[in-house]
Amino acid sequence: MTPVEIKAVILDILEGIAPDEDLSDLKDDVPLREQLELDSMDFLDIVMELRKRYRVQIPEDDYVQLATMNSTVNYLSPMMKDLEKA
């Protein structure tokens, strides 16, 4: 997967978790929690959805790497580079 595809996956997951949020104005370098009304359970849902769809394991210590869209894509890129988009 390319970084653009990974970003699309994250946006798709966010759309399912926060369907009432407007994702079109998300800033890539601002923490997602500051832009969206996400609580810790929503954040965990993102991690679980990545695991379910792509078998990506994210250790709890690495959750901080998923703060912004840019950091999330950068973190996931090496793990998902050989995966096909679902």
Cβ atoms of 80 and 54 within 8 Å: the answer is yes
85, containing H or E segment: none
For the cut 70, the answer to whether the pLDDT of residue 86 exceeds it is: no
Higher pLDDT, 31 or 81: 31
pLDDT tens string 42-83: 999 999 999 999 999 999 999 999 999 999 999 999 999 887
Confidence band of 5 (pLDDT split at 50, 70, 90): very high
Determine how many CB atoms are found less than 10 A away from the CB of residue 1.
20
Say what the pLDDT of residue 17 is: 93
Torsion from C-alpha of 84, 28, 49, 5, nearest 10 degrees? -10
Percent of the chain with pLDDT over 70: 97
CATH architecture of 3-20+28-80: Orthogonal Bundle (1.10)
Instruction: Return the domain boundaries, the chain.
Output: 3-20+28-80
